[in-house]
């Protein structure tokens, strides 16, 4: 940008090139790296020497696009939609996108007030199946809400299913979320998510590589996923079949050296098959936001230890626990028999039995001792109901 806030030559050239170059075009990315945006735009617009790596036919197609491009009109449409254009190397540009090399976006159209660069520094992608199950939607929303409560920005693709659940879970928790679209940011897609994407634009960020008014295509959805992967510190997949765009995001994250995680599901569900395949490889199994934060966060952001509930018998002295364990499940036993089973003396066993009686675990029965109903019930609970 120039000093008065107007776009400079390189900025305007990149705006033009978003109308010409498809997302992820590495040949064009090499042109930009070697010649600069202004030179590439000039050759395409004015008919300079053909740049290497494309056929005459392809070059002619790119030139036709360039001649029709109207960067000032696109900038005006973006302003009307409350959007701006962010260039590589600019103050708001997230440097981690540079890891994409020549597949790096030409630039990003961004709707929303927050700084993309700052938000991306502490962000996690939550992606998954469009036709997700109730379990998948619940898992995604809960996970996203938990991440939001821990101060993480949740990034997803604005699609139906897991993406929408992740965005909604974040918003419900009052958190920060980013939707990365495969179309113009002024043209919410899918249309059924117009209200959701508009809300994200008001409370968070909506961004994409395509200029205002441009439409999505199948290839653009797949290429959009590399931006989600590169922008974030890790990608969590919640439900995905073997052929899934969410898996493409996870694999892109792996190629970029980002963390990849998966939320397991029922082995009988085809929507869990892709996630489980990831987990058989390099991905890490996660079940909640604390485990995600532990993996992608700073040192010290540890998930709590996982353990079952503390049962009354867990609090017993080890010697008393051995005596309790020596009593039969049914009927009474003599002191000598209990002492032998606990590996202790008769006198010690008697003392422990009276201690256990005061705690409600055992009761005197004639000349023997037996478990109370409470102890029998607790023992079943301790063994998982077996």
Same domain, 331 and 275: no
CB atoms within 10 A of CB 266: 11
Among 262, 296, 330, residue at a domain's last position: 296
Mean pLDDT of 351-372: 86
Same domain, 233 and 278: yes
Same domain, 177 and 265: yes
Same domain, 283 and 317: no
**Tens of pLDDT along 251-297?**
999 999 999 999 999 999 999 999 999 999 999 999 999 999 999 98
Same domain, 191 and 259: yes
What's the number of domains the chain is made of?
Answer: 3
Say how many residues make up the chain: 386
Closest to 237 (Cα-Cα) out of 202, 269, 279, 206: 279
Q: Would residue 79 count as lying in a domain? A: no
Same domain, 283 and 194: yes
CA distance 248 to 344: 62
Among 272, 296, 320, residue at a domain's last position: 296
Give the CATH number for residue 364. Answer: 1.10.10.10
Percent of the chain at pLDDT above 70? 91
CB atoms within 10 A of CB 133: 17
Q: Would residue 141 count as lying in a domain? A: yes
**Tens of pLDDT along 364-385?**
888 899 988 877 766 555 544 4
Contact 127, 249 (CB under 8 A): yes
pLDDT of residue 386: 40
Same domain, 277 and 318: no
pLDDT of residue 255: 96
Same domain, 111 and 245: yes
pLDDT of residue 290: 94
Q: Would residue 226 count as lying in a domain? A: yes
**Tens of pLDDT along 75-134?**
999 999 999 999 999 999 999 999 999 999 999 999 999 999 999 999 999 999 999 999
Give the CATH number for residue 261. Answer: 3.40.50.450
Domain extent, residue 283, equals 95-296
CA distance 296 to 37: 35
Q: Flag whether pLDDT at 235 surpasses 90.
A: yes
Q: Flag whether pLDDT at 4 surpasses 60.
A: no
Contact 97, 89 (CB under 8 A): no
Q: Would residue 349 count as lying in a domain? A: yes
Same domain, 275 and 333: no
3-state secondary structure of 354: helix
Angle at 228 between CA 249 and CA 133, to 5 degrees: 60
Q: Would residue 166 count as lying in a domain? A: yes
Same domain, 15 and 130: no
Answer with the residue of higher pLDDT: 47 or 332: 332
Same domain, 112 and 247: yes
pLDDT of residue 367: 81
Closest to 173 (Cα-Cα) out of 154, 159, 155, 160: 154
- Residue indicated by tokens 């033009």: 16
For residue 55, the number of C-alpha atoms closer than 13 Å in the C-beta half-sphere is 3
Among 237, 271, 296, residue at a domain's last position: 296
pLDDT of residue 377: 67
Arithmetic mean of pLDDT over the chain = 90
What global pTM score does this model have?
A: 0.79
pLDDT of residue 67: 93
pLDDT of residue 316: 81
**Tens of pLDDT along 201-226?**
999 999 999 999 999 999 999 999 99
Q: Give Cα 133 to chain centroid, integer Å.
A: 17
Rg of the Cα atoms in the chain: 30
Structure tokens at 374: 């409470």
pLDDT of residue 299: 46
Same domain, 50 and 18: yes
Q: At 332, phi and psi to the nearest 5?
A: -105, 160
**Tens of pLDDT along 124-161?**
999 999 999 999 999 999 999 999 999 999 999 999 99
CA distance 235 to 157: 12
Q: Would residue 242 count as lying in a domain? A: yes
Task: From residue 78, give the alpha-carbon distance in Å to each of 163, 231, 237, 345.
Answer: 25, 22, 32, 86
Q: Would residue 57 count as lying in a domain? A: yes
Q: Give Cα 358 to chain centroid, integer Å.
A: 52
Percent of the chain at pLDDT above 90? 75
**Tens of pLDDT along 295-326?**
998 744 555 555 556 566 777 888 888 999 99
Q: Would residue 89 count as lying in a domain? A: no
């Amino acid at each position: 940008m120039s000093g008065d806030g107007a776009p400079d030559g390189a900025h305007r050239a990149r705006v033009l090139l978003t109308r010409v170059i498809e997302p992820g075009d590495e040949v064009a990315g090499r042109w930009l790296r070697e010649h600069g945006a202004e030179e590439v735009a000039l050759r395409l617009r004015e008919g300079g020497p053909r740049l290497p790596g494309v056929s005459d036919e392809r070059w002619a197609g790119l030139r036709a696009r360039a001649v029709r491009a109207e960067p000032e009109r696109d900038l005006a449409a973006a302003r009307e939609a409350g959007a701006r254009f962010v260039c590589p190397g600019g103050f708001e540009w997230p440097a981690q996108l540079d890891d994409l090399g020549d597949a790096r976006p030409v630039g990003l159209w961004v709707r929303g007030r927050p700084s993309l660069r700052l938000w991306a520094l502490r962000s996690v992608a939550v992606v998954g199946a469009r036709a997700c199950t109730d379990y998948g939607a619940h898992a995604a929303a809960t996970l996203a809400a938990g991440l939001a409560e821990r101060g993480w920005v949740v990034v997803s693709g604005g699609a139906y299913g897991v993406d929408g659940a992740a965005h909604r879970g974040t918003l419900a928790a009052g958190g920060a979320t980013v939707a990365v679209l495969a179309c113009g940011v002024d043209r919410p897609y899918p249309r059924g998510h117009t209200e959701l994407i508009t809300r994200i634009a008001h409370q968070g960020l909506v961004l994409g590589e395509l200029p205002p008014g441009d439409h999505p295509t199948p290839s653009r959805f797949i290429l959009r996923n590399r931006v989600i992967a590169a922008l974030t510190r890790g990608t969590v997949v919640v439900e995905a079949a073997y052929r899934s765009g969410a898996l493409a995001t996870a694999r892109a994250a792996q190629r970029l050296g980002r963390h990849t995680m998966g939320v397991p599901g029922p082995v009988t569900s085809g929507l869990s098959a892709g996630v489980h395949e990831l987990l058989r490889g390099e991905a890490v199994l996660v079940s909640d936001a604390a485990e995600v934060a532990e993996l992608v966060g700073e040192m010290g952001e540890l998930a709590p230890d996982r353990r079952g509930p503390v049962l009354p018998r867990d609090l017993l002295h080890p010697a008393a626990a051995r005596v309790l364990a020596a009593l039969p499940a049914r009927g009474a036993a003599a002191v000598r028999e209990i002492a032998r089973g606990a590996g202790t003396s008769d006198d010690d066993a008697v003392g422990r039995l009276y201690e256990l009686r005061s705690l409600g675990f055992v009761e005197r029965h004639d000349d023997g001792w037996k478990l109370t109903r409470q102890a029998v019930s607790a023992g079943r609970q301790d063994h998982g109901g077996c």
